Amino acid sequence: MNKLDAQRQKEIQQAEELLFAGPQALGFAKGLFQGHFVSDWVMPYPRIPAAQQVELDGTLAELRQFLDEHLDPTEIDRNADIPRSVFDGLGRVGVLGMTAPKEYGGRGFTQMANCKILEEIGRRCASTSVFVNAHHSIGIRALLLFGTHEQKQRWLPKLSTGEQLGAFALTEREAGSDAANVQMQALPSEDGSHFVLNGEKRYITNAAIADVLTVMARTPVPGSDKTSITAFLVTPDMPGFEMLEARMPKMGIRGTATGRFALRDVKVPKENILGPPGKGLKVALTVLDFGRTTFGACCTGAAKTCLRLAVEHANTRKQFNKTLGNFHLVQKKIARIAADAYAMEAMTTITAALIDRGLEDYMLETAMLKVFTTERLWECINDVFQIYGGSAYFVDLPLERMMRDARINQIGEGANEVLTSFIALVGMRGPGMEFKEIYDTMIKPTRERGFAKAWTAGKHRLGAAVRVPEIPVRSAQLRGFANQLGRLIWRFNVAVNRALITYREPILDMQLLQERIANAAMDLFAATCVLSRYDAELEFAQRNGNSSSLDHCAAGLFLRQSFRRIRHFLAGLTDNDDKSVLATANSILGKPGS
Ligand SMILES: Cc1cc2nc3c(=O)[nH]c(=O)nc-3n(C[C@H](O)[C@H](O)[C@H](O)COP(=O)(O)OP(=O)(O)OC[C@H]3O[C@@H](n4cnc5c(N)ncnc54)[C@H](O)[C@@H]3O)c2cc1C
């Protein structure tokens, strides 16, 4: 086996271990890749139970009042600091332990309700929403998900109220996008009572203000020469904890304290291990799934602010004797922001509900949500920036700050390129394995039990190839959209099958193809969420005799634009300039064979 093959085998083994723990219910996104519309996960549109809605409304009112009175995003950006009073206030409202169980001092909110809270903060100040995410969505998430009762009892009460703050430390110099390449070492002591940690972490939000950090480090696998990753709770008062740079100066989300630290022979008791030893990568990726959900909520909030600002300016600024809102090229931007903001909210709500309703494997949906909402928000900010013209460039308006703040979204918690490739590959794995079964049996018909498995796989593939899935909308008005969506899911499945049959194993490296498949899948998911929300709103409006036509225009527009994009992505699978793109890049990069 050459070095490349060995590396590929290692990656596949790691992925297998991480992703495919055992039989699980078919999720919505994986279903799409198999040509199914698993409607139960997405329709009807999820609603927060009435009793919890009352509690959420009360908390939102309290939060809004606090933010109106005490949050100054401009000052936070200028001073590159979020005042302690803001942390304390958020703690009092319950934001810092929103989803922690009540028995540990939290508010016991669902992920869906929590997303409404984050949307509200994301509307106003990205520094503050990233701080909250770093503390609550990822900082204390491993403790919430994988901590033992004793660990939760010991650590959570202070972390839930904000008396103590949390951080999540995965990234290192050699472990950025390649999260599995963590180099920080954790060696067990001879008596087994503790681990000794050595190494450095960088780009860690809240590192310098956190009282407890979830740190990923590499531990030996007992009885072998292998190593794997384990999650530890580390506190900065442990001897050997050295803050190398408390606040790395940066372009956006300047209020957050992004730091670098070293652990030098830090003794961490074995009681501080979170989750199973050696399963830290799975712990980390599950934690990030939660972070990506609230990322979606924060982007939704920011997109709504873009819409508000765009409308305000377009209705007041006059040029050529008309307000800007009279020009079609301005209208086009405003309509698109409205459509995208509607979709971002719908997608966030449905993804959060998947977690609340106990879908075990939601990594594809959270990855889709993260890529989709961060890319759309970037477009929204660019559009509203353009509508404001020269004034957007000056610091008395919030737009230049919003633009600087939003840029990290496409990089942090999984760069969008990495997640795009991940979406395509994990999604295609199901149908890919079925084709492999069929192919292996064809070339080796004597394989034991092979024929039966291949027959089942063949039936699945064939079934999906001839069946256009039905989309169960309730409103007759939406049947046309539902039929179009069903046909596009069918076309998507045919395209995935064709790509798998045509390219087989090399598809693993064909990122331009993967990007089109992932983009089509993301738009199919987004369109589904929009249709589900639109359907629920129409039903509600009919029952109550009113109609929110503004929102419905945006929903209809989103569906039209999304369907057009999906057709474009699928057409690009066969009609593209990929060879020329790669040849040009290779020749410029000085790659051999170009
Ligand atoms: C402000 C800020 C806050 C952060 N907070 C935290 C935190 O709290 N905790 C934490 O652990 N980390 C944190 N990070 C780290 C963040 O998650 C990483 O920056 C991110 O994962 C990317 O890693 P990298 O910066 O090393 O980029 P690299 O891995 O060097 O990647 C650079 C670029 O290369 C491309 N690329 C990389 N791999 C691939 C691939 N396989 N296919 C195609 N393209 C690829 C992508 O375009 C990517 O953007 C933070 C970073 C920043 C900037």
pLDDT tens for 272-326 read 999 999 999 999 999 999 999 999 999 999 999 999 999 999 999 999 999 999 9
Averaged pLDDT, 48-52: 93
Phi, psi (rounded to 5 degrees) for 22: 165, -175
d(CA 516, CA 84): 45
**In the predicted structure, residue 396 carries a pLDDT above the cut 90:** yes
Averaged pLDDT, 357-369: 94
Pick the residue with more confidence: 431 or 456?
A: 431
| 181 close to ligand 1 (CB < 6 Angstrom) | no
| 385 close to ligand 1 (CB < 6 Angstrom) | no
pLDDT in tens, 500-529: 999 988 999 999 999 999 999 999 999 999
* Residue 215 Cα to ligand 1 middle (Å): 17
Pick the residue whose CA is nearest to atom 40 on ligand 1.
418
* Residue 522 Cα to ligand 1 middle (Å): 21
Percent of the chain with pLDDT over 90: 85
| 228 close to ligand 1 (CB < 6 Angstrom) | no
**In the predicted structure, residue 442 carries a pLDDT above the cut 80:** no
In this prediction, residue 189 carries a pLDDT of 97
CA end-to-end distance (rounded Å), the chain = 26
Query: What amino acid positions are annotated as catalytic residues?
Result: 413
In this prediction, residue 445 carries a pLDDT of 61
* Residue 181 Cα to ligand 1 middle (Å): 13
Phi, psi (rounded to 5 degrees) for 275: 75, 180
Q: Among 129, 203, 213, 283, which residue has the most ligand 1 atoms within 8 Å of its CB, making it the best to mutate?
A: 203
Q: Among 136, 140, 171, which residue has the most ligand 1 atoms within 8 Å of its CB, making it the best to mutate?
A: 171
| 418 close to ligand 1 (CB < 6 Angstrom) | yes
d(CA 232, CA 183): 14
* Residue 120 Cα to ligand 1 middle (Å): 26
Beta carbons of 36 and 492 less than 8 angstroms apart: no
Ligand 1 atom nearest to CA at 177: 29
pLDDT in tens, 161-191: 999 999 999 999 999 999 999 999 999 999 9
Q: Among 411, 413, 421, which residue has the most ligand 1 atoms within 8 Å of its CB, making it the best to mutate?
A: 411
Backbone CA torsion sign across 401, 403, 404, 407? positive
Residue 592: pLDDT band (50, 70, 90) is confident
Residue 16: pLDDT band (50, 70, 90) is low
d(CA 311, CA 298): 20
Preceding omega of 49 cis (within 30 degrees of 0): no
Residue 20: pLDDT band (50, 70, 90) is very low
**In the predicted structure, residue 223 carries a pLDDT above the cut 50:** yes
In this prediction, residue 455 carries a pLDDT of 64
Least confident of 345-354, 410-419, 424-433: 424-433
**In the predicted structure, residue 7 carries a pLDDT above the cut 70:** no
* Residue 203 Cα to ligand 1 middle (Å): 9
| 205 close to ligand 1 (CB < 6 Angstrom) | yes
Closest CA relative to residue 226, chosen from 180, 287, 288, 178: 180
| 411 close to ligand 1 (CB < 6 Angstrom) | yes
**In the predicted structure, residue 439 carries a pLDDT above the cut 80:** no
* Residue 402 Cα to ligand 1 middle (Å): 20
Least confident of 67-76, 460-469, 556-565: 460-469
| 406 close to ligand 1 (CB < 6 Angstrom) | no
